[in-house]
Amino acid sequence: MKTILQFAQAARERRGLVMVTAYDALMARLVAASAADAILVGDSLAMVAHGFPSTIHATVEMMAMHVAAVRRGASDMLVVADLPFLAVRRGIAAATDAAGTLMQAGATAVKLEGVAGHADVIAHLVQSGIPVMGHLGLTPQTVHQLGGHRLQGRSVAEAERIRAEARELEARGAFAMVLECIPAALAATITAERAIPTIGIGAGAGTAGQVLVLSDLLGLDPRFQPRFARRYLEGDSLVREAIDRFARDVRAAEFPTGAEVLA
Ligand code: KIV
């Protein structure tokens, strides 16, 4: 899938939107050859690819480098790029510059967290021709204010706030929204109320689509196994076993041999 119009059409046809993260050209090529609809160059790359403790460490420059690599690996795919920490909080001009950098690096759309205090930025980006995906519920860039990565929208007041934010996002022109770590019933309510597609992560089965971080889906990090993320591969043990076999072959003088030895 290449465009936000195709994304909206697939949602209208209730095809079940599928988005996964990728941060480099190799993984982007694999995702592009799969049945996924869109790639998210998420600021989770600060943690997964750069080893930082939170997404707060992602910068526009870091994001742009990864977006460019992903675009080289997936030339025909809808690529959504996260606007990193504070990029939308320094005023419209700075946010437009940051979004422009990500679009020029190859993004089809940008994703940004929250609405309160930057609804005008969302409207300005949309009116500037930049498709915007929202992100509500657990917004990892505000992890310190939220007191950790925990379920959001449990109380009536919190649920009402998130519903109002979803309404505001749609009114400001967002083409879709991620709903992260909120009760399934709340996510289903928002999905029914809003015309734009909802993409869930830890938000139950009632959203228009689902997004997962690729390393969670592939089971690559045994230290991080969120309950809501299904492991479709035991990637950590498979990769480790392959490297162990390589090491064993080298030490037993069984690699390289035959055609692997260049004459
Ligand atoms: O950064 C990211 O990977 C994300 C997903 C968790 C939705 O925002």
In CATH, what number is assigned to the domain containing residue 80?
3.20.20.60
* Cα pseudo-dihedral 238, 244, 249, 255, rounded to 10: 70
> CA-CA distance, 258 to 262, in Å (whole number)?
9
Give the distance (Å) from ligand 1 centre to CA of residue 124.
Answer: 23
Residue 248 burial by Cβ neighbours in a 10 Å radius (0-12, 13-18, 19+): exposed
Query: What are the φ and ψ backbone dihedral angles of 82, each rounded to 5 degrees?
Result: -75, 130
Atom 3 of ligand 1 has which residue's CA nearest to it? 42
Give the confidence band of 127 by pLDDT, cuts at 50, 70, 90.
very high
Atom 2 of ligand 1 has which residue's CA nearest to it? 42
Q: Best substitution site from 102, 149, 152, 201 to test ligand 1's pocket, by max atoms within 8 Å of Cβ?
A: 201
* Cα pseudo-dihedral 83, 87, 88, 92, rounded to 10: -120
Amino acid identity, position 38: A
Q: Are residues 180 and 252 in the same domain?
A: no
Q: Is the pLDDT of residue 95 over 90?
A: yes
Residue ranges of E strands in 74-169: 78-82, 109-113, 132-137
Q: Are residues 154 and 176 in the same domain?
A: yes
What per-residue confidence (pLDDT) applies to 53?
Answer: 95
Give the distance (Å) from ligand 1 centre to CA of residue 44.
Answer: 6
Helix (H) or strand (E) holding 38: strand 38-41
Do the beta carbons of residue 124 and residue 88 sit within 8 Å? no
Q: Best substitution site from 83, 178, 199 to test ligand 1's pocket, by max atoms within 8 Å of Cβ?
A: 178
Q: Which two tokens stand for residue 132?
A: 């915007």
Q: Is the pLDDT of residue 178 over 90?
A: yes
Q: Are residues 205 and 99 in the same domain?
A: yes
Q: Are residues 225 and 238 in the same domain?
A: no
pTM attached to this predicted model:
0.97
Q: Are residues 160 and 251 in the same domain?
A: no
**Residue of 168, 170, 180, 260 with catalytic role:** 180
Q: Are residues 220 and 251 in the same domain?
A: no
What per-residue confidence (pLDDT) applies to 1?
Answer: 93
Give the confidence band of 101 by pLDDT, cuts at 50, 70, 90.
very high
SS3 47: helix
Q: Kindly report, residue by residue over 38-61, the tens digit of the pLDDT.
A: 999 999 999 999 999 999 999 999
What per-residue confidence (pLDDT) applies to 225?
Answer: 86
Q: Which domain holds residue 259?
A: 234-263
Give the confidence band of 214 by pLDDT, cuts at 50, 70, 90.
very high
Q: What is the mean pLDDT of residues 212-222?
A: 97
Q: Are residues 106 and 71 in the same domain?
A: yes
Q: Kindly report, residue by residue over 3-48, the tens digit of the pLDDT.
A: 999 999 999 999 999 999 999 999 999 999 999 999 999 999 999 9
Ligand 1 atom index nearest CA of 55: 1
Q: Is the pLDDT of residue 86 over 90?
A: yes
b or e along 143-161 (b: 16 or more beta carbons within 10 Å of the residue's beta carbon)? beeeeeeebbbeeeebbeb
Q: Are residues 97 and 49 in the same domain?
A: yes
Q: What percent of the chain stands above pLDDT 70?
A: 100
Q: Best substitution site from 63, 112, 213 to test ligand 1's pocket, by max atoms within 8 Å of Cβ?
A: 213
List, in sequence order, every residue forming a beta bridge with 19; answer none if it has no partner.
38, 211
**Ligand 1 shell residues, CB under 6 Å:** 21, 40, 42-44, 82, 178, 180, 201, 211, 213
Mean pLDDT, all residues of the chain? 97
Q: Are residues 11 and 84 in the same domain?
A: yes
> CA-CA distance, 107 to 99, in Å (whole number)?
9
Number of structural domains, the chain?
A: 2
Q: Are residues 144 and 240 in the same domain?
A: no
Q: Are residues 129 and 212 in the same domain?
A: yes
Is 180 catalytic? The answer is: yes
Q: Are residues 62 and 166 in the same domain?
A: yes
The least confident of 176-190, 202-216, 219-233 is 219-233
